[in-house]
Chains A and B, each alone.
Chain A
C-alpha cells in the first residue's frame, strides 16, 4: 500500500477567512494528486486534479480563484479555500496517484488521505 496524510484533520474558521489544507504522500512520489469534497451521505465529488509543477485542472463548476491548488513537490499538494463561507463547509479529501517513475505496479491506484472537515461559521 501507500500512505497519504492530510493536515489539518479538522478546522473551524470565521466567514471570510482563508484556510489551507495540506496533502502529503509519505512513502511514495505522486505526480498527480486529486482533491474531492464530500457532503454528508453523498459521494465524493472531484474538484480538481493537481499536477506537480503545473497548473491544476479544475472540474466544471469549481471556481479556481476560490479553491487555489499548489503542487510544488512530488509529495505535497495544498488546497486553499479563499474567503470561506458557510456553504464551503464540507469534508475535503485528497488522493494521490503513485508516480509512473516509481516502477510500482499500482500506478492506477489512488490512495486517499484521511480527510479534513472544514466548518465555516
Chain B
C-alpha cells in the first residue's frame, strides 16, 4: 500500500538557523503533497503544499521542494524562531482522484534552541 517515510524523527536547531525535513513516498500516482504543523494537543495546521506540476514553492520563511523522479520532497524553514517548535508532518495524496485520502509521514519533532 501507500507509504510515506519521514526523516529525521527529531530535529534540534539553533534559533536563526535553517531546518530541513525530508520525505519519500511510494505511490507514484501521488500528486499533492501538503505539510502540516501540529502543536501539542492541537489540530494539524496546513503550512504549505505543493502539487506535482511544480518543483518548488516558497512562502516567506518556508519552502518545499519536490523531486517526482526520485519521489522525494522536503520542507525547508529558514531563520527559525521559537514559535517554529512543533511536530511537522509531511503527507502525500492522489489529489483530484477518487482515492484522495492523505497518507501521513511519521512526523518530525522540531525544537528551536534559543
Contacts and interface: CB of A to CB of B under 8 A. Distances in A.
Interface of A: 32, 34, 41-46, 49, 60, 93, 95, 97, 107-115
B104 interface: yes
A34 B49 contact: no
Interface stretch (B14-22, B59-67, B74-82, B95-103): B95-103
A101 B36 CA distance: 25
Contact of A46 (B45, B96, B103): B103
A32 B105 contact: no
B101 A112 contact: no
A112 B34 contact: no
Contact of A44 (B41, B44, B95): B44
Contacts of A110: 34, 46, 102
A121 to B, nearest CB: 20
A64 B106 CA distance: 24
A25 B26 CA distance: 31
Given A93-B43, A114-B43, A108 B49 contact: yes
B57 to A, nearest CB: 14
A27 to B, nearest CB: 16
A110 B43 CA distance: 12
A23 B102 CA distance: 18
A114 to B, nearest CB: 5
A32 B100 contact: yes
B49 A109 contact: yes
Nearest to B36: A112
Contacts of B93: 108
A43 B89 contact: yes
Interface string B1-42: 100000000000000000000000000000010101000011
